Amino acid sequence: MGFVEVLSKLFGNKSQRDLREIMPYVDKVKAVYPEIRSLDNDALRERTEQLKKRLADAVAADKQRIAELKASVEQIEIEKREKVYREVDKLEKDIADTYEKVLLEILPEAFAIVKDTARRFAENETIEVTATDFDRNLAATRDFVHIDGDKAVYQNHWMAGGNEITWDMVHYDVQL
């Protein structure tokens, strides 16, 4: 048995290490999935908006501070601007770190939403939701969604490159 084989037996191969690393996330997705699956279409959309708001709220104060610093930089003496730009750089790094932290926290729920949305499109030819401005704008430029009164109706098929494509995939746990 060679050196590489011994190391592989001790530590596992790359695929095994990757699986060990992601399995806790897969387990968390599986745990939240039944709750997500029980939501109606509008509640599922609302859950997505809640995740987006949580992410935006987490960095709002730092983004506001950056905007204030950038607005005031023109009134500051040239010698002191470098200090302001360093603070902006630090805040931008803090924002990136916060994004990473919050995204890891919401990842299981977000993946469960993706998985169930895919399931809904695979099982239904159309998905009906309460229309928003986003839906109305999308319906004006895309043929896979149309507005019917106060409802937006999404189809699970569309034209791409002259061919009709039908959504027929539900993500496997390992794809998440």
Give the pLDDT score at 18.
81
| Helix%, strand%, coil% for the chain, nearest 5 | 70, 10, 15
154: helix, strand or coil? strand
d(CA 52, CA 67): 21
Q: How many CA atoms lie within 13 A of 162 on its CB side?
A: 0
Measured between alpha carbons, how far is residue 124 from residues 17, 21, 67, 120, 134 in Å?
37, 34, 45, 6, 22
Kindly report, residue by residue over 85-133, the tens digit of the pLDDT.
999 999 999 999 999 999 999 999 999 999 999 999 999 999 999 999 9
176 confidence band (pLDDT: 50, 70, 90): low
Tokens 């926290």 sit on residue: 105
Is 5's pLDDT higher than 80?
A: no
Q: Please indicate whether residue 2 or residue 133 has the higher confidence score (pLDDT).
A: 133
> DSSP character for 174?
G
Give the pLDDT score at 11.
64
Question: What pTM was computed for the model?
Answer: 0.82
d(CA 47, CA 41): 10
Kindly report, residue by residue over 42-65, the tens digit of the pLDDT.
999 999 999 999 999 999 999 999
Q: Please indicate whether residue 38 or residue 22 has the higher confidence score (pLDDT).
A: 38
Kindly report, residue by residue over 157-174, the tens digit of the pLDDT.
998 889 999 999 888 765
d(CA 85, CA 66): 9
Is residue 102 a contact partner of residue 110, using CB atoms and an 8 Å limit? no
Q: What is the mean pLDDT of the segment spanning 34-48?
A: 98
Radius of gyration from C-alpha coordinates of the chain: 23
Please give the distance of CA 136 from its chain centroid, rounded to a whole number. 22
